[in-house]
Amino acid sequence: MDTETDVTGTGGLQVDPDLRDFVAEELVAGLDLTPARFWAVVADLQERFGGRVEQLLRRRDELQQQVDDWHREHGTGDVEALEAFLTEIGYLLPVEEPTVRVTRVDREIAEVPGPQLVVPATVPRYALNAANARWGSLYDALYGTDALPLDHELEPGYDERRGAQVIAEADRLLDQFFPLAEGSHADVVAYRVPSAGELAVDTASGTTGLADPAQFAGHRAGDGDRPAAVLLRRHGLHLELTIDPSTRVGTQHHAGVSDALLESAVSTIVDLEDSVATVDGPDKVGAYRSWLGLRTGELTASFGKGGRTVTREVHGDRTYVGTDGGELTLPGRSLLLVRNVGHHMRLDAVRTADGEPILEEVLDALVSATAALQELRGNARYSNTRTGSVYIVKPKMHGPDEVSLSVELLAAVEEALGMEPTTLKIGIMDEEKRTSINLEACIARAADRVIFVNTGFLDRTGDEIHTDFEAGPVVRKDDQRSQTWLKTYEDRNVDVALRAGFAGQAQIGKGMWAKPAAMREMLDTKGGHPRAGANTAWVPSPTAATLHALHYLETDVLAVQEEIKKRPLADRRGLLVPPVLPDAGTGLSEEDKRHELETNAQSILGYVVRWVGLGIGCSTVPTLEGVGLMEDRATLRISSQQIANWLHHGLVTDGQVRETFARMAEVVDGQNADEPGYAPMCADLDGSPSFQAALDLVFSGRREPNGYTERALTTWRQKAKATDGGEESGTRAAVLEDEAPSPAS
């Protein structure tokens, strides 16, 4: 890649010109931090941490080789023997009893359970969607999705039949979560606020109020005692009933309620990792610019919609009259976290004087903190944090030593920027086996910084397959969910975190809902996350956040956590049961093998053609059955490891794999035929970077460290960009909720 050969003012580093200009003209502008000082810090951090990271990566490889050798000799073995062996080689460490002592944590992390959005930083429009998704229209979410059944085709504009259905469902939810002392919300003809602390509810049979008056949180003034909005609160989340009888919805509503705005995405992770395709300097600048613009409040995005140009910007806060008569201000934006890359990533857009790519995590950490420093120094329109903390999510750490290194890197960044110690908090992604099996020790290493642990089923499954590669052929992908290791993993993550004192201090997270269009199914199933003691769980869109927020109105997560604390700690030996097919897979039919191979090949190709060919890091990829599944590098890791494992153990052959990929390329080409800028693979399979990347992922899967996909993806994406320029990274993504029909907006 082209980098700046003149190293003057860059700490001796060779820096891509776009990155150099971004730092000088945007990132450090207005701070007492010069560009020369910024790059000197990067060079220093690279010098201090580069060698240590290499040692940790070698340790990963050494341990994996020892595990592979053991499984080759013993197969799956038995849990006791495997436990003894892993202890002997230092893979399995003694159980610790950590206590977190984190301070200055925003209440969205510590006190308010609710949905968490994850959004690619490379798409400003969607980054703004996510930041502004703190409040979402429940009416829109019900009207424009399958959350409610639809038995007719919607009328253009506003469909009154659908509107009546939405109003009825909203009334039912109000009765469930904010019941009246008498009667139903469906009977209400007016909501009134006779005095600041009193909500009067008029029905045909008289005046009543809330069954629990404490659920009334405030109002926005209207005419007389008729408010423009009524604010309710349950389990820390707010719901605003917007009252405007002049609108098309308000006219139809029995009490003039034109919308129900639900506090939805309490927090959002702005992603620099798995959901982006950033392979060079311009790509990284695009991602960093979104994070900076969100922290300063200056990010905007313009786009065409319905024949007109729409400009989106960061929302301000919301103000009400509180129950004490004073002004009540509520945040108008999600609390923002940022996910950096893992230890194994290198960035050749910045190289050392010797020409070696630097640790990408070094630049991510320093840029993440410097952008937040703009806010902390008073250079922002709005406040993200009210405690002065910055939240950095750290993925793909293998065990406590790697957590320790991440903590030391954050401390070094704080020192370099003059930040108060422990300003930079860390979210631990529990997505690698050596982390989940030593979770107590990992938490202990970050006890004064950790603000979340999250179960990442997808990456965790990919790592499970790679770790157990030599134990035998693994079960089919969909069957992983019923395996012993997974139940233990999900339960133990909650158990360990609660014992460490996360309740009231930090988040316990659950994974992503992968079907953006299946909101009814999400409503029926994802309520299990708060019931399992998780005070946050990932969603793919603002609409999904609004609907998932209903689960947190339904379940008092903090009370559930108190009950879970009483149960026995999940035995970590359950994590040692390899998900291997019985009898080496001899019970599988040829049809079973064919279907599994086709499913995974199509999934790999469907994702890779967008990553490599179009620079899209997160996509809704249709399955063979036409069901759209949101995919990022974690799903790719599973599918590629699945085929590589079966190939290694002889369940499928080299020829079968290649033939299946060729057939599935035709399917994927058809699915993307209308995609602007799409280059069909079948026009030249040998010359298609996307097709060759897919084969690379499978045929190098056994040798690829930890089964990661970044090397193959980056290599082939760079080739694609060098050959035809590629399309600008991240021009489209999975979150397309702007196109949903909307009655209230």
Whole-Å CA distances, 325 to 78, 125, 263, 322, 608: 66, 37, 22, 5, 56
How far is 539 from 519, CA to CA, in rounded Å? 11
How far is 354 from 13, CA to CA, in rounded Å? 9
Active-site hit among 140, 171, 259, 632: 632
Q: Does 354 qualify as catalytic in the annotation? A: no
Active-site hit among 125, 312, 339, 434: 339
SS3 content of the chain, % helix, strand, coil (to 5): 45, 20, 35
**Residue 51 phi, psi dihedral angles, 5° rounding:** -65, -40
Token representation of residue 111: 């006190």
How far is 691 from 84, CA to CA, in rounded Å? 43
How far is 709 from 698, CA to CA, in rounded Å? 10
How far is 654 from 5, CA to CA, in rounded Å? 44
Whole-Å CA distances, 122 to 15, 287, 486: 20, 4, 32
How far is 549 from 537, CA to CA, in rounded Å? 10
Q: Does 223 qualify as catalytic in the annotation? A: no
How far is 473 from 471, CA to CA, in rounded Å? 7
Burial of 582 (0-12, 13-18, 19+ CB in 10 A): exposed
Q: Which of 477, 460, 739, 716 is nearest to 610 (CA)?
A: 716
How far is 435 from 496, CA to CA, in rounded Å? 12
Cβ atoms within 10 Å of 410's Cβ, excluding its own: 26
Whole-Å CA distances, 257 to 196, 322, 527, 735: 20, 20, 27, 28
How far is 441 from 400, CA to CA, in rounded Å? 6
How far is 580 from 584, CA to CA, in rounded Å? 8
Strand 450-455 and strand 424-430: the pairing is parallel
DSSP 26: I
Residues designated as active site? 339, 632
